[in-house]
Amino acid sequence: MKESDRYCKVVEWSEEDGCYVGSAPGLLYGGCHGDDEQQVFAELCQIVEESIELYRQDGKALPPPRSPIVSQEPTITRVNLLERSYDIQIGSGNLAGLAPFLRERSQATHAVIITDDTVDDLYADKLGDQLTDDEWEVHVMVVDPGEESKSGDNAQELWETMLEEGTDRQSIVLAIGGGVVGDLAGFVAATFARGLQFFQVPTTLLAQVDSSVGGKVGINLPGAKNMVGAFWQPRGVLVDVEVLATLPDREYRAGLAEVVKYGVILDAEFFTFLEQNVAAINAHDSAILTRVIQRCCRLKADVVEQDEHELTGLRAVLNYGHTFAHAFETAGEYGKLLHGEAVAIGMECAARLARHMNRIDDEFLARQSALLVALHLPTDVPNFDRDELVRIMHRDKKVDQGRLRFVLPTRLGHVELVKDVRVDDVQAAMG
């Protein structure tokens, strides 16, 4: 990430000036203006870069790269599930308050931190020290990064280590990492000693907007993704937007696929917001990202509150593009595509399938494709055997008595679970 990406850039409509005005609070005393919002943002980014260079040429220290969001209190998105209700705290710089966040929600004094090698060096080790300073007993358990770690072997190794370290029902499991770590740690928490309190600190965009919320946890089988698992709600989720500054660009893009998904399935206005803020999203603008994460979490929470255990079919809408995506991931042995990349391609296939079935028009397909491409996401199906992909799809959890079912759109902001989809149509959608 460039230095300039760490500064908040604000583009707002000014009634007084009759145009868009761009500013970078804390860094610039001036700004720019114009009639085109995206052009103003692009100009503002250039001005910020030039200002940073001037600071360096003059030998002056740069102001702290912190946006107005940082000085505000983190926001809370509440997931209302009776006795299983919990908070999603969303802020910037709020990792520093992890210890009190946990204290307010648990009487435990022993924390099992599950993370991966990458996140351990960046965050988990330091957060473990923070908890130790707060008089927690802490054990950190580290797995390899990547989807391959969501395995029965890794789960067993974690169970055995937890047993050796004296973990009991008064302990908590704290997942610090992306979706893989969260799914694996949540599954271990759900199953060890018949269930331990579980907290999430998601460090990828995909985990922040999607997988850390809702209580789906699990591991993969060699032939089917997420086939072994449980519904196990966290006691709390702490989201710090600042951690995205260390996220590799490919991982960041993968998370954006789930962001687009929420606009397609639940909120047409949010989809339009994404279209209008492509430049800011691509520039990792913290103010825009905070709004994006807040909206995605609220949308998912609304669905989970109504269909926690996926009994009515409502929660199935969150799997838009995922029947295709899971087949791509499985065919690639969980190593060729990141989950979000597979979801982007899967959404493209699902939209083509819906268009083939006359459920949507060409404009829908064009807008979804254009947004995915603008966010630098893949849309081409990998070179996998199409018959094998269909065989994998028949092992999908949404299959009903051997019949394929797909979540398909009817318009922006609305999708439905469709039964009895013809295999020929599915293969045609994959090209």
- If one counts the domains in the chain, the total is 3
- Catalytic residue at 319? yes
* Residues 130 and 150 occupy one common structural domain: yes
CATH of the domain at 348: 1.20.1090.10
pTM score, whole prediction: 0.82
The pLDDT-based confidence of 70 (bands split at 50, 70, 90) is very low
The pLDDT-based confidence of 28 (bands split at 50, 70, 90) is low
* Residues 107 and 237 occupy one common structural domain: yes
- The answer to whether the CB of 299 falls within 8 A of the CB of 415 is no
- Catalytic residue at 339? yes
pLDDT in tens, 203-233: 999 999 999 999 999 999 998 899 999 999 9
Nearest to 136 by CA among 164, 170, 163: 170
Where among 57, 77, 95 does a domain terminate?
57
Count of beta carbons in the 10 Å neighbourhood of residue 317: 19
* Residues 231 and 379 occupy one common structural domain: no
Q: 254 exposed, middle or buried (CB, 10 Å; 0-12, 13-18, 19+)? A: buried
- Catalytic residue at 261? no
The pLDDT-based confidence of 8 (bands split at 50, 70, 90) is low
Q: Higher confidence at residue 401 or residue 383?
A: 383
CA distance 387 to 400: 19
Indicate the helix (H) or strand (E) that contains 112.
strand 110-116
Query: What mean pLDDT is predicted for residues 323-334?
Result: 95
Q: Which of 319, 329, 398, 405 is catalytic?
A: 319
Distant-in-sequence, close-in-space partners of 222: CB < 8 Å, separation ≥ 6: none
- Catalytic residue at 300? yes
Residue at 97: amino acid letter? G
Residue 370 lies in a domain: yes
Report residue 90 as tokens: 């969303």
Residue 277 lies in a domain: no
- Catalytic residue at 60? no
Residue 40 lies in a domain: yes
pLDDT in tens, 79-118: 999 999 999 999 998 999 999 999 999 999 999 999 999 9
Residue at 396: amino acid letter? D
Q: Which of 6, 9, 216, 352 is catalytic?
A: 216
For the chain, percent of residues with pLDDT exceeding 90:
77
- Catalytic residue at 326? yes
Residue 165 lies in a domain: yes
Q: Which of 150, 235, 315, 405 is catalytic?
A: 315
The pLDDT-based confidence of 68 (bands split at 50, 70, 90) is very low
Residue 197 lies in a domain: yes
Range of the domain at 50: 3-57
- Catalytic residue at 310? yes
Phi, psi of 367, rounded to the nearest 5 degrees? -70, -45
Where among 190, 219, 247 does a domain terminate?
247
**Could you tell me the end-to-end alpha-carbon distance of the chain, in angstroms, rounded to an integer?**
35
Q: Which of 9, 235, 339, 398 is catalytic?
A: 339
- Catalytic residue at 298? no
- Catalytic residue at 275? no
- Catalytic residue at 226? no
Q: Taking all residues of the chain, what is their mean pLDDT, rounded to a whole number? A: 91
Residue 288 lies in a domain: no
Residue at 406: amino acid letter? F
Where among 213, 247, 281 does a domain terminate?
247
Q: What was the pLDDT predicted at 314? A: 93
Residue 286 lies in a domain: no
Q: Which of 15, 60, 135, 194 is catalytic?
A: 194
Q: What was the pLDDT predicted at 71? A: 38
* Residues 83 and 176 occupy one common structural domain: yes
